[in-house]
Structure 1
Amino acid sequence: MDAQDAWRMGQLRRAAAAALIGTAIEFYDFFIYGTAAALVFGAVFFPELGALGALLAAFSVYAVAFLARPLGAVVFGHFGDRLGRKATLVVSLLLMGLATAAVGVLPGFGVLGWWAPAALVVLRVCQGIGLGGEWGGAALLIAENAPAGRRGRYGAFLQLGPTIGFVLANGVFLALQVGLDERAFRDWGWRVPFLASLGLVAVGLFVRLRVEESPVFREQAEGPRKAPVVEVVREHWRTVLVGCGVITVGYALFYLTTTYALAYATTGLGVASTLVLSMLLVGAVGMGATVWVSARRSDVWGRRRTLMGAAALTSAWSLVLFPLLETARRPLMFVALAGAMVVLGCLLGPVAAFLPELFPTRVRYTGVALTYNLGGVVGGATTPLVATRLTAAYGTATPVGWYVAGLGVVALLCLRLLPETVGAELGAVDGGRRRAPVLGADPAA
């Protein structure tokens, strides 16, 4: 290995580490709201709305961040495509961390009245904007540094970030619930995970500031002449919409399993929250394993083929998830939740390589971020609300599984329209204006 190859390998490893650590921290910040919403935010910020109304209100504020994520994708994508990936990722991490810490010191309804939930909405919007610029930039940081034949393998490091963030978030809440009585947890214990974000962000900044700019971005002949979002909407809107259809089912399954199922099991089935959190933590280990396997295999089998198999598996598992959960028998509940997390890992693994391969360099940040975060709006923001309404209407959560199974079928149809991208070059071809793959094209053509 010559000096140039050694430098490139070192840069790739630093990029992978920066993406893994930074994304883990950002998703930790994002996930702790979901856990707090399921466990305590209804009582803290919406006590006058009744049990169901408070839960719906907490999930509605939870959904606000998803609605803000496309805005973050546009804002951070604009600067990421014009100024570079590195600086943009540093700012997104700071915004997320500061907003999260502010939630930790926000007084509840008993002190501020309705100003408390109003401020919570504002901080949740800031979280959404920050995360909207995070994942796309981190995916590019790896994809634009990795060799074409190993892009899936290195993309796995990015996709392990959400898994680690989830484990950290739920691990902290589990420890607090075990170590504190219910009153102490509700009074102040829930604030600890939010305040801890400041220390994690400092670690993330240290790592990200040591990474150099993406070579593909530096080498492109020219940036977008117009605002990147304008070019994406005009020239790549089909790819964005179809890609969104692929991403949606993963978001739906994740937040259905980790947020809604937690609330449903504790309030609807009378199961201890510590038991459910423990099951989800074990399941997250399985999710990390399948993320790693599916990402690496996508370099061999192809992105589209791997994702189609995962989408079909998701539809099938969604149909048994809640019937197993509603038995309230511990072994079957564990199978339901851990199985869903394992299936989810199969879906997540190839995505970090697949989406960057769909867009040209000049607008890649904006295109990837918009696709990923629009999927979050449809799949992540609406699923807990739809699930709550369906369960209230039918007296069982079984229809929720059919809803997610339907999203899996949509993902399969969308994947049929997208090309195979494995091995695609991400260089600045034709002044950074490399044509996007043709929808529905035969990959062998």
Structure 2
Amino acid sequence: MKTDTIVLGAGIVGTSIALHLAQRGRSVALVDRRGPGEETSYGNAGLVERASIYPVAFPRKISALIDVALGRNPGASYHWNALPGLVPWMFAYWRASAPARILDYASAIETLLSRSLYEHERLAQVSDAQHFFREGGWLKLYRTAAGLDNERSEFPLARHYGLTAREIPVDEALELEPFLRPVFTGAVLWSDPHSVSSPGGVTQAYAAHFAGLGGRVLKGDARTLTKLGSGWLVTTEEGTVEAPEVVVALGPWAMDLLRPFGVKLPLQVKRGYHMHYQAEGNAGLSRPVLDEEGGYVITPMVGGIRLTTGVEFARRDAPKSPVQLDKTEVLARELFPLGARAEAEPWMGSRPAFPDMLPAIGPAPGQKGMWLAIGHQHLGFTLGPVTGRLLAEMMSDEEPCADPAPFSPDRFG
């Protein structure tokens, strides 16, 4: 089988890239070992962010680091045996989390975030996926005055970028979400983001539209990728596929493929867990709710109320250790009437991340005809469609919708 482009990875990023290329008339094969949206793109909190100007940064305060080290922060955990291999990456992450560099991050990521809602809306409309989307922003809750003070420090930058963050009292928060219990002292409503009831469902709808345009959705092992004199070849269940160009959108598995080709990038993973719960009685939520100091998000999904944990630093393929889920479930039950767990086992996924917290979007260093779209960390679902547009424009020699320079894979040297 010969095609114009092979896209490896059928998460939200790879699927969006394939769809944007197909809309430009290219023949595209979208290849994954599983179906579209069944890996990392399935297990997130369902936010289409517009307001994440501040990243999930590495703690800079000694007290915060001590809390993580001693297991007192429910939003972070780690495996001791993974730390030696993570030290250089974590040091670079710590440096990139300095206040001045956070402003640089905000300036770069805003060029994509400012288009995130619009690009999702475009794909949702043509893919008949609008029913998954809802407005209403998301609600951040704070158990202490200190936590709320820290959130207020983000307001000036948010206003600079035209975002709406409104501090509201407990009573107003309970009017918005009447089934919450008043275990918090204050709240902030971020109105700009949207959310979805099934991130996996959205990705599958985009993939179905891609197939409707003539795209091929194939199962195969990306690690079979071979460089040919005139392009690339990968083996799928339906045979081999050849193309002059290949896009690597494999998320946390990207380096398994890239290292053998000599592409060296500082990509690591932040693992996370989720579980669905039945709600007691007629309880429900209308938007995602973040318990900032509790270290979790609860959000309404088609499978029930989804509780999503923070960050676990561990080897990608290490066995599950859902201690964060056990800790945060206790806190979540104080806040909301969660019923029984709806699943026997927690879901676990890995967020692919570079130490500067920006994705890599563009040509792979030293590999003609290979393109990268990886490392979206906590914003993969949000940035999938705009990444798809940006990379498709770059590959088609069109004027890019955003400056690709801050996201160049070459920035790591």
Could you state the TM-score of these two structures normalised by the residue count of structure 1? 0.24
Which structure: greater helix fraction?
Answer: 1
Which structure: greater strand fraction?
Answer: 2
Could you state the TM-score of these two structures normalised by the residue count of structure 2? 0.25
